Structure 1
Amino acid sequence: MKMENLSKQIDEIEALSAIYGEDWQTEDESNRVYSIKIKDNENYVSLYFKLPTDYPSSSPPSYEISAPHLDNSKKMHLRNLLDEAYLSNIGQSILFQWIEVVREDLQENNNEASPDESLLDPTFDHSIEIQEISPIHSAIENECPKIIHGEVILDRKSSFQGHAAILVSVEQVKQVVDKLMENRKIAHATHNIYAYRIHREDSNSFIQDCEDDGETQAGGRLLHLLQIVDAKNVIVVVTRWYGGVHLGPDRFRHINNAARQVLTAANIIPETKSHKK
């Protein structure tokens, strides 16, 4: 179990590093201490995590909160939110959810401090309603969904590119992969790694799977990234063209970054959940 926990921690840290970029910091690798600075306008909250050996199977990470603008009562409220989130997800990776809980609370506090100007403007038309259309409704089950292509990441002659699409069925996984393979450059790549998650509303469960395509553990890491950000009804494919120079562990970082970039471009990961360069 100890090795399984360590493997899950490594995958989680790699995914968080890909999502948050420079905002995510390694404070002490040997003791597995990490931090992130969550900013909203001029205010910020810094979280410091220490991962015990039995996380995530049976113990939560220990954490510290640094927020100069919050009084003790609001810090206590924040701690209660984090504890509630963990109790609802015992045995699962929790850091991403904790970060987003803090971000949402920080934004709510700032919104309370800054009232909506439209409420003060008598000329504002309150009758106008804006309706958001979910991208899932744009996909038709019997047709190949639209594929978004990400930017190419280059390192020592190797290239990485992410591709993503919204799905409504497992059958569309093959349609997306087959469509990508129509491109000869992609078809002749060294690896085409992918992972997908489809939410079943009737049972509130997920159909999910992944493919390494010769890059051991890479598909599982992509799936873990989708799980951490709670992505639903999506496939992400990362194409790698090997350039002749071994990249070691850096190749997994580039695979995660390529996936994160295209998921953000496709609005599957909201902009607030990704690092802005």
Structure 2
Amino acid sequence: MVHLIKVYVEGLFPGISPLNLKNLGECILYLWVEKIREVLIEKSQSSDAGPNVEKITEEIDEGNEDDYSLEYQPVQEDTIKTLNFVISESQEDEELPPVNHGNPISDRRSTFQAHLAPVVSPKQVKMVLAKLHENKKIASATHNIYAYRIYCEDKQTYLQDCEDDGETAAGGRLLHLMQILNVRNVLVVVSRWYGGIRLGPDRFKHINNCARNILVEYSYTSSAEESSKQLGKNKRVRKDKKRTEH
């Protein structure tokens, strides 16, 4: 069975064979993935029009991520699970909120940039996302991760949701950050342009830092130092809770 798979893959991607010869006796799964990814990117760039290819997260989650990221619980209350970019006639009356852009962070050829907009309804969330995707650079990002929180005065609850866009768990971590910082009526989108080098858990650190910086810049939360203290306090509470459970 393994031999059949090997023959099939080598038939589709001739460049796999040299990798096998150069790395005899070693685990070549990751090398296969990277080579296949390169071939697919070359094919997609060389063709004028082709089928939409679903985004695949190039990262393999590694252990020991607690120092770089935040635990989160899936959001279950008042969430909108699907947000497409088609604006219906009923949405045309909604005002498009201003969209702000943060300073990019670059690390090992990957670039991260946050975008922020004040929102008070899911319709405005759709409109902002559609507006961002009109920008060719943002639309071509490997991942456009987003999360939003809208406070409902009448119900005293939050309408909130998030999207990974192929960067596994990134949307939930972003939303959890916004919950800890207690921000409301805001949408945060973090674009990532992947540069070909896996960052491991550092990618979550950069996504959260981009989001926190732009939230501080536009006064949705306190200074960077104060928000860092708040995040540290949350982490200590979480560790204390784990100790009491053992």
The equivalent residue for 1:173 is 125
User: CA offsets per residue over residues 237-258 of structure 1, 9 Å max, x none?
Assistant: 0000000000011001000011
The equivalent residue for 2:220 is 268
Task: Pick one of 224, 237, 246 that aligns with 2:176.
Answer: 224
Identity of aligned residues (%): 57
SS at match of 2:102: strand
- Which structure's relative contact order is higher, taking Cα pairs within 8 Å and 6+ residues apart? 2
TM-score, normalisation: structure 2 = 0.55
Amino acid corresponding to residue 261 of structure 1 in structure 2: N
CA distance in 2, matches of 1:210, 1:227: 12
Distance change >3 Å, CA 202–CA 13, structure 1 → 2: farther
1:258 pairs with 2:202: no
Q: Is there any run of 5+ residues in structure 2 with no aligned partner, and where?
A: 1-64, 74-92, 229-246
CA distance in 1, matches of 2:70, 2:101: 20
The equivalent residue for 1:14 is 69
Asked if the contact 2:114/2:211 (under 8 Å) is kept, the reply is yes
What is the number of residues matched between the two proteins?
145
User: CA offsets per residue over residues 101-144 of structure 1, 9 Å max, x none?
Assistant: xxxxxxxxxxxxxxxxxxxxxxxxxxxxxxxxxxxxxxxx7111
Give the number of the structure whose residues are more often strand, by fraction.
Answer: 1
User: CA offsets per residue over residues 83-102 of structure 1, 9 Å max, x none?
Assistant: xxxxxxxxxxxxxxxxxxxx
The alpha-carbon deviation at position 13 of structure 1 amounts to: 6.8
Q: After the TM superposition, which parts of structure 1 deviate over 2 Å for at least 4 consecutive aligned residues?
A: 10-16, 270-275
The equivalent residue for 1:188 is 140
1:203 pairs with 2:193: no
User: CA offsets per residue over residues 216-255 of structure 1, 9 Å max, x none?
Assistant: 0000000000100111111100000000000011001000
Amino acid corresponding to residue 135 of structure 2 in structure 1: N
CA distance in 1, matches of 2:98, 2:176: 23
SS at match of 1:151: coil
Amino acid corresponding to residue 102 of structure 2 in structure 1: G
User: CA offsets per residue over residues 44-77 of structure 1, 9 Å max, x none?
Assistant: xxxxxxxxxxxx9xxxxxxxxxxxxxxxxxxxxx
The equivalent residue for 2:81 is none
The equivalent residue for 2:25 is none
- Structure 2 matches for 1:144-155, cutoff 5 A? 144-155=96-107
CA distance in 2, matches of 1:12, 1:159: 21
The alpha-carbon deviation at position 148 of structure 1 amounts to: 1.3
Asked if the contact 2:68/2:201 (under 8 Å) is kept, the reply is no
Amino acid corresponding to residue 14 of structure 1 in structure 2: S
Instruction: Quote the RMSD (CA, aligned, Å).
Output: 2.5
Asked if the contact 2:147/2:187 (under 8 Å) is kept, the reply is yes
Task: Pick one of 215, 233, 243 that aligns with 2:167.
Answer: 215
Distance change >3 Å, CA 11–CA 237, structure 1 → 2: farther
SS at match of 1:221: helix
Distance change >3 Å, CA 260–CA 191, structure 1 → 2: same
Asked if the contact 2:138/2:191 (under 8 Å) is kept, the reply is yes
Asked if the contact 1:11/1:221 (under 8 Å) is kept, the reply is no
CA distance in 2, matches of 1:145, 1:197: 15
